[in-house]
Structure 1
Amino acid sequence: MSGRAAVAAVGAVVISGLTAVPAFAQCASPAGVYAESAGWAQRLTDASETWPLSDGTGQLVAVVGTGIDAGNAQFAPGQVVPGSDLGDCDGRGTFAAGIVGAQRVPDTAFAGVAPGARLLGIRYTETTTAGGEPSPDALAGAIERAVDAGATVVLVAVPAASTSPALEAAVRDALSRNAVVVSPAVGDQPEDRSYPTDLPGVLAVGALDESGAAVQGEAGDHLSLAAPGADLVGVSAGARGLGHRWGVDVPAFSAAYVAGAAALVRSYRPELDAEQVADRLARTASRPPNGHDPRLGWGVLNVNSAVTTELVDDPSALELPAPMPDVPTVRPAAGPPPLPDHSPLSGWLALLGIALAGLAVVARATIRLGRARGWRPGSDSWTWNDR
């Protein structure tokens, strides 16, 4: 099946656990309450260690797809913001929103990546009734609406199989207005393309299973990184209270994990622009052994590293000198290696180096503690983050 046909087929069904139910048959409903231990995808993307520093507070993540059912008990009151398209017969928007921001609650181990983030549900396709493939022009209007509402992260939960001038203009506008645009690759064949996934500046996400193998067939240089897209757990639409689906195999949901991580980075490092956030997520990914992988990008999402790693070329990093390039050591063709220098001067220089290294560690810890309390370099007072 081609990528175009694959997207159209997904658009014509309701996602219900592992089975595809005909669109006219029923709306999504929970399989029950997920009561087992955290699944592999949640363990891989576990962000709980970063929550004392950043839980996504202050960020608005737009979930562009089929709407959000805010009635699920894992969405906090008011977390799905006014202006959202409520109700989600198809279920994909709700499932993706839960991966981004579901709250930690009793009775289930499942929780979202960025529970402090607010969620804006935007429905641009009625996949339970329309049948055909999602319209790129309708998707363009949804992205424009998300950016106009102030979204700092735009998650395309349902990509299109083709592009259009309107969609390309909408993505350019979103990027110019400092929104991170995250979109999955869902094509079946290497030459297939999803949109806006393939457009410049979009954080393009591939999907993998628990073994580390790519799930989708779509491949190319446009892929930035990968995240889980098989055997997933998430919140279900149609729940009156707490309800989940699990064992879900949908590559498109990989982008939701990355969108949640983007919200964490934006919350903790507000000085970074959208391009720098996308670059940080790719650069801190767990690298594939042979460089860029055409189906997994630059590696697998590493949430904790994305938030906490200091990159020396980030505005948020300590201003340390760049490391010197590696220079091969050349020894004389004959004769023993030179003896170590035991002069008094060399001893003083060694002690000075140790002292400077200690000061650097103290400075880094002080700045990190300050950030956790809401302080930013350059301010003349301590302030507390709004919660």
Structure 2
Amino acid sequence: MIRRLATVVIGLVVATATPAVAEAPRGWEQTVMRVPAAQRLGQGKGVTVAVLDSGVMRDHPEFRGRVTTGPDFIGGGARPGQSYWGEHGTAMASSVLRVAPQAKVLDVRVLWDKEDPARKRAERAAESGGPAGEQSRKAATALAKGIRYATDKGAQVISMSLGSDEWGLGSDYDELTAAAVDYALGKGVVLLASAGNGGSTDPLEVDANNVVSYPAAYPGVIAVAAMGPDGGRASFSQVHTYNQIAAPGVDIYAADNGGGYRMGDGTSPACALAAGTVALMLSRNPDLTPRQVRDILVKTARKPPSGYTVFLGFGLVDAAAAVRAAGSAKDSEIAAAPYKGEKYFGDGPVAAPTTNPPMDMSYVAVGGVGVGVGLLFLVVAALLMRRPKARPVHHPRMPGPGF
């Protein structure tokens, strides 16, 4: 069954809005991403992946000391051990470490789980249109603070299985978060985000929104779409031009915050699986830049038949091919492109002299005569104006009759 499934996915049927196949075999994502072959080349040793999420139950048997707990930037009152603390984040950390078993996870809480009372209070406040409370204001800056914290703590990869389409309470684009993304990229950190789960192309699907989702849409962030076991886009995966790669997102078996395991769907596990692949790549070559990581993922992905699509980006992550390519990648050098044209010095290129036809001297003669006549008229006019005027002669009047 696994071999047949791998063959189907390797072929990557045309990515349309095909409903996900139910009850995929456990671990199918490992097979189709060729994770076992990738792990023979690297296991993520020495790489820290920051999981920015709802918290991670680090005492889960799955983790065995591989999770470090960072700050809780969103707060709200929930504590580890409660059902609405760490449900989503624990599963995401599990998916990262299933791909990169020797990597370390840095848990940074920036998100409320769906059933968290603090989330419900914030949603009610937003719907009422009233002023944002202290908790909502804190939530608005949590992601930006989490990105900067993870960067300063040395995380090489930041996995963000969240998005404004599904988790956001305020505006989508946020200047603080955009600046934090730029800060992390400038430090050489690779950032990945889930594409979003409101992507149905069915006009009758009332829950679909397919809006632009951040942080996936920020420049420099690798946006990960979700693929189903049939090789097509998972029916919920957002459809956008910023989608770059795809990973399995249906029936993903992962740890839960109660100490056990369960299946889950979404672009969230797809992002976590891709982040684990990046950890394998960096353990193979720690000098890769974020741009090199993105280029390798794109070039080694199993492309859809039509090439790039807004459904699956450049295709399914091929972990084995990506790790192999990472090992042979050369150092990235930034230099000015050489000029291959002619060399000029001094004042630079000089234009060829302009040549004009010979002047017709007859026009010069006519012009000269015209100028002379004009001057003569001016002289005569001046003399006439200077000539004294004749005075009038007065004659005595003749006396008339009666005088």
Shorter-chain TM-score: what band?
Answer: 0.5 to 0.7
Match of 2:189 among 170, 179, 186: 179
TM-score (norm 1): 0.64
Establish whether residue 204 from structure 1 lines up as the match of residue 208 from structure 2.
no
Q: 2:177 corresponds to which residue?
A: 167
Identity %: 31
Per-residue CA deviation, residues 297-346 of structure 1 (Å, 9 max, x unaligned), is 0000110000013798x3169xxxxxxxxxxxxxxxxxxxxxxxxxxxxx
Q: Shift of residue 283 of structure 1? A: 1.3
Question: How much has 1:208 moved relative to structure 2?
Answer: 1.1
Match of 1:227 in 2: 247
User: What is the Cα deviation at residue 49 of structure 1?
Assistant: 2.4
| 2:126 matched residue in structure 1 | none
Given that 1:45 and 1:257 are in contact with CA atoms closer than 8 Å, whether structure 2 keeps it comes out as no
2:12 matched to which residue of 1? Answer: none
Equivalents in 1 of 2:31, 2:241: separation in Å?
A: 28
* Within-5 A mapping of 1:63-212: 63-77=51-65, 79-83=66-70, 87=80, 89-101=85-97, 112-127=98-113, 128-129=116-117, 130-131=119-120, 132=122, 135-161=139-165, 162-189=172-199, 191-212=210-231
* Partner Cα distance (1:120, 1:56) in 2: 14
Is contact 1:262–1:278 with CA below 8 Å preserved after alignment?
no
CA shift for structure 1 position 172: 0.6
Partner AA of 1:141 in structure 2: K
Q: Which amino acid aligns with 1:174?
A: A
Deviations 1:263-293 (A, max 9, x none): 0001101221121112111211101111111
Query: Rg: which structure is higher?
Result: 2
Instruction: Give the drift of 1:46.
Output: 4.1
Rounded to whole Å, the distance in 1 between the matches of 2:163 and 2:89 is: 12
Contact 2:245 2:301 in 1 (8 A): yes
Name whichever of 168-177 and 128-137 sits farther off.
128-137
Higher share of residues assigned helix: 2
1:315 to 330, 339, 343: 330
Contact 1:80 1:119 in 2 (8 A): yes
Change (3 A) 1:57 1:214: same
CA distance in 2: counterparts of 1:192 and 1:38, whole angstroms: 31
Residues of 1 paired with 2:59 and 2:107: CA distance?
13
- 1:254 Cα offset (Å): 0.6
Aligned partners of 1:266 and 1:252: how far apart in 2?
21
Deviation, 1:53, is 2.6
What letter matches 1:288 in structure 2?
Answer: P
Name structure 2 gaps, 5 residues minimum: 1-23, 73-78, 124-135, 166-171, 202-209, 333-403
Secondary structure at the residue paired with 1:56?
Answer: coil
What's the Cα RMSD here?
2.4
- CA distance in 2 between partners of 1:262 and 1:310 (Å): 10
Cα deviation for residue 84 of structure 1 reads 6.0
How many residues in Structure 1 have an aligned counterpart in Structure 2? 266
